[in-house]
Amino acid sequence: MNSVTETCVVNVPRDSVFEFLSNIENIPKWATKFVSKLTLVDNKYKAMTPIGEVFIRLDTDKKAGLIDIYAGPTENNMTPAYMRIISLQDGTSTAVMFTFFQYDSTPDAIWEIFCEWIKIEVDNIRRHFS
């Protein structure tokens, strides 16, 4: 199984970075290649993406610094992506790691696009906190 991980370091405390990234309503601010619009329908979020409208949800664990992002055409058919928010030794800098896996349902051509997008999205996070 293929995977891709992109990482950035920002000079912002971990809690601030986690609060921003774990707020689902902020996704269009940093995931600009994947999410062009976010809507709330029946207490569930939907994102407009280049591959159509998808359900999207976040599972978060602030203490562990984990943000699991699920997106898919139905609530029962969602693919995860994983973020880890890590406080560095000095406490004023934070590392953000973002990982995608290529599942059997992801064609190679789409996977290559996702690999390019993750670089852009992580750079957007870095620029947001610069």
* pLDDT computed for residue 106 by the predictor: 87
| Type of residue at 48 | M
* pLDDT computed for residue 9 by the predictor: 97
Reduced to 3 states (helix: H, G, I; strand: E, B; else coil), residue 57 is: strand
Paired residues of 53 in beta bridges = 48
Confidence band of 27 (pLDDT split at 50, 70, 90): very high
Q: How many CA atoms lie within 13 A of 80 on its CB side?
A: 8
Q: pTM of the full predicted structure?
A: 0.93
CA distances to 19, 42, 44, 53, 130 from 39, rounded to whole Å, are 20, 10, 8, 10, 28
* pLDDT computed for residue 36 by the predictor: 93
